[in-house]
Amino acid sequence: MNFSPIANAYAGTAAGAGPDSVFMQVIPLVIIFGIFYFLLIRPQMKKAKEQRQLISAISKGDEVVTQGGLAGRIMQAGEDYLQLEVAEGVIVKVQRASVTLLLPKGTLKKL
């Protein structure tokens, strides 16, 4: 008589591991992925697309706010960098990608 757990290990195989049980195990994963897609991934992609459109649409004379909080008027727009006038005669060079907000015309005069 052998009472070793290894000798009887073959008796522990799952009975009924057919296609239905595999399908039922995959369904929760698909549902979780769907929830993540609609609540996290899709809104993030939409926001990134809007940001890319904003960055490509800015031009000379627009009033913008950068990620660092600088508000100013674009004096010169290059491919990668912008020259931003933050005060009378004070021009700062910033990366185009750092622009986060396009202000309505005349907003800087009110500040």
- Confidence at residue 97, expressed as pLDDT on a 0 to 100 scale: 93
Q: What is the pLDDT along the chain (111 residues), one digit of tens a residue?
A: 556 556 555 555 555 556 778 888 899 999 999 999 999 999 999 999 999 999 999 999 999 999 999 999 999 999 999 999 999 999 999 999 999 999 999 888 887
Helix H, strand E, coil C: the string for the chain is CCCCCCCCHHHHCCCCCCHHHHHHHHHHHHHHHHHHHHHHHHHHHHHHHHHHHHHHHCCCCCEEEECCCCEEEEEEECCCEEEEEEECCEEEEEEHHHEEEEECCCHHHHC
pTM above 0.95, yes or no: no
Tell which CATH architecture fits domain 59-110: Roll (2.30)
Domain spans of the chain?
A: 17-54, 59-110
- Confidence at residue 56, expressed as pLDDT on a 0 to 100 scale: 92
